Amino acid sequence: MKELKVDLKDKSYPIYIGSGLLSKKELLLKHIKSKQILIVTNSTVASFYLKDLIQGLEQFNVEVIELPDGEQYKNIEYINQIFDLLLEKKFSRNSTLIALGGGVVGDMGGFAAACYQRGIPFIQIPTTVLAQVDSSVGGKTGVNHALGKNMIGAFYQPQCVLADMDVLDTLDDRQLIAGLAEVIKYGLIRDLPFFEWLEKNIDLLLARDKDALTYIIERSCINKAEVVAEDEYESGIRATLNLGHTFGHAIETGMGYGKYLHGEAVAIGIGYATDLSHRIGRLSSADVDRIIALLKQAQLPVIPPKEMTPTQFIELMTVDKKNVDGNIKLILLDAIGKATLPMCVEDTMLEQTLENYAG
Ligand SMILES: NC(=O)c1ccc[n+]([C@@H]2O[C@H](COP(=O)([O-])OP(=O)(O)OC[C@H]3O[C@@H](n4cnc5c(N)ncnc54)[C@H](O)[C@@H]3O)[C@@H](O)[C@H]2O)c1
Ligand SMILES: [Zn+2]
């Protein structure tokens, strides 16, 4: 097992990465300081792993809430259901909430924990590649609104993150691949050697080689932890983690939550950001080619949905947390391994990208 640290002074916490961690209860027990535990999960993940998690927690009063499975349920209505249960069962302030699932469950469980009685301890047990490499680390929690992705939320750090590699065995290929978009993102924004490693080893990942998967989870978590430690509340460098996301979120919202997986929308968004970075003279065409080639090699989509018009993109992109006074701000690339801070571009440049980028 590997143990990494997210260094946030008195809010620091470990990320445990390894096989068989769900059954190593001593790791979890170190972080539970209460009798009451609420496990937030969804119906799919529960059917695979709820039993394994509960086994060995007999000494606690364990309640479980199984949310319906899907991005379309990541909204305030279901957060309310979590509050209902917490209140009905009289959960107190030191109770622990455990989020067992992918990014949707993690974001929702974390947000419920952040709000209930102004904050109760919570633990992330991420069960998708995407959640293990990205969403479970760093304390961004929240839900979608019909008008904008992740628009309601809070920064709230977990007590620990427990990434059990074995749970990835039941994840389907489409989900595994979607998670690789965020992995490639780390290479693009700050880690050229990692990008090069991915170029060489992507087939191993697609073949689910355990060592290769473990490596990308560790390396991604190291990247994320460094960025978060430097800028917990996203006043600067943390925004670079949003590469491709302004376009991607527009696709998720515009096409209806759940149609494109988050990672798929981000991959197409990275395609747009790459095109725009080149168009404004920042990124070389050789780098553009390498980026698109790696996304394709990873079997990620790069072609935009034909249903969405440039006007619709612009409309949706004006609802973004990076925007200032209504101006669209984007993370772009100067080179592979070097992202810009949020920046505005000329409207005509953005329009040209939206009209011409075709994957
Ligand atoms: N908080 C952050 O910093 C952050 C970062 C990136 C993404 N996100 C959010 O994360 C969400 C996407 O997360 P996701 O890609 O994990 O999606 P997800 O949570 O919807 O999980 C994907 C699918 O896999 C299933 N699943 C989960 N674990 C499984 C397992 N071990 N075996 C079989 N099936 C399993 C789920 O039930 C679901 O159907 C988005 O809402 C996105 O906005 C948040
Ligand atoms: Zn993301």
274-280 long-range contacts, CB within 8 A, separation 24+: 274/333, 275/353, 275/356, 275/357, 276/330, 276/332, 276/345, 276/349, 276/350, 276/353, 276/357, 277/332, 277/333, 277/334, 277/340, 279/349, 279/352, 279/353, 280/332, 280/345, 280/346, 280/349
Paired tokens of 44: 């799919």
pTM (2 d.p.):
0.96
Measured distance CA(213)–CA(151) in Å, rounded: 31
Measured distance CA(143)–CA(155) in Å, rounded: 12
Q: Annotated catalytic, 346?
A: no
Q: Annotated catalytic, 118?
A: yes
What integer pLDDT is reported at residue 180 of this predicted model? Answer: 98
What integer pLDDT is reported at residue 323 of this predicted model? Answer: 79
- Which residue, 205, 161, 160, 145, is CA-closest to 180? 205
The DSSP code sequence of 78-123 is HHHHHHHHHHHTT--TT-EEEEEESHHHHHHHHHHHHHGGG---EE
Contact 143, 107 (CB under 8 A): yes
Smallest-distance ligand from the CA of 158: 1
Measured distance CA(193)–CA(266) in Å, rounded: 21
**Residue 317 carries which side chain, given as an amino acid letter?**
M
Tens digit of each residue's pLDDT (9 = 90 or more) over 266-322: 999 999 999 999 999 999 999 999 999 999 999 999 999 999 999 999 999 988 777
Residue of 74, 262, 278, 322 with catalytic role: 262
Residue that the structure tokens 């937030």 belong to? 40
pLDDT reading at 63 higher than 80? yes
- Mean pLDDT for all residues in the chain: 96
pLDDT reading at 324 higher than 80? no
* Ligand 1 neighbours (beta carbon < 6 A): 42, 44-45, 48, 69, 71, 74, 101-105, 107, 127-128, 130-131, 134-135, 138, 140, 150, 167, 170-171, 175, 178, 261-263
DSSP letter at 135?
Answer: I
- Strand 96-101 to 36-42 pairing: parallel
What integer pLDDT is reported at residue 44 of this predicted model? Answer: 98
Tens digit of each residue's pLDDT (9 = 90 or more) over 109-154: 999 999 999 999 999 999 999 999 999 999 999 999 988 889 999 9
**Residue 276 carries which side chain, given as an amino acid letter?**
L
Residue of 144, 242, 252, 329 with catalytic role: 242
Closest ligand 1 atom to the C-alpha of 105? 19
Measured distance CA(29)–CA(354) in Å, rounded: 50
- Which residue, 309, 289, 310, 254, is CA-closest to 359? 289
What integer pLDDT is reported at residue 195 of this predicted model? Answer: 98
Residue with the smallest CA separation from ligand 1 atom 13 is 103
Measured distance CA(287)–CA(283) in Å, rounded: 7
